[in-house]
Amino acid sequence: MIVDTSVVVDALVPGSLSAAAREFLLRSSDLRAPDLLAVEIAGALTRAVRRGDISEEFARSAHRASPQLLPALEATAPLLDRSFSLSLELAHPLYDCVFLALAEARATTLVSSDRRFTDKLKCSPHKRAVTHLSDWE
């Protein structure tokens, strides 16, 4: 399975899906993600500090802990052309489409807690490629 940034951030930052995200990451085997994941996690933590959702101290601690939650990482560069096409097709940000492109390339499912993205995919030809974290069993 492919895991996106939203799931890892949910596991690190307290919220309504935190327990489910931690359980998913601990119980799932052979998880993968594009190497973009590490950069996106750091960006999400700094954004949460700017919004006042978490303290800088908490962000630094979560950033130090994040490598323990990372799945096997794969190179983003080979996924770029397909990600670009998906972004145009779906009218959705390229960064999310990198995760979808990896799921396609590996013929597996993308697990995300990004409701906007999963809802958009459920209304597209890619609906079988994604599962929202809350629907994971």
According to the model, what pLDDT value does residue 86 have?
Answer: 98
% helix / strand / coil in the chain, to the nearest 5?
Answer: 65, 10, 25
Residue range 66-88, pLDDT digits in tens: 998 899 999 999 999 999 999 99
Residue (of 135, 127, 101, 122) closest to 4 by Cα position = 101
* Whole-model pTM over 0.85: yes
- The secondary structure of residue 61, as a DSSP letter, is H
Mean pLDDT, the chain, whole residue set: 95
The residues spanned by each domain of the chain are: 2-135
Which CATH number among 3.30.420.40, 3.30.70.120, 3.40.50.1010, 3.40.1390.10 corresponds to the domain 2-135? 3.40.50.1010
- pLDDT at position 136, please? 86
- pLDDT score for 137: 67
pLDDT value of position 69 = 86
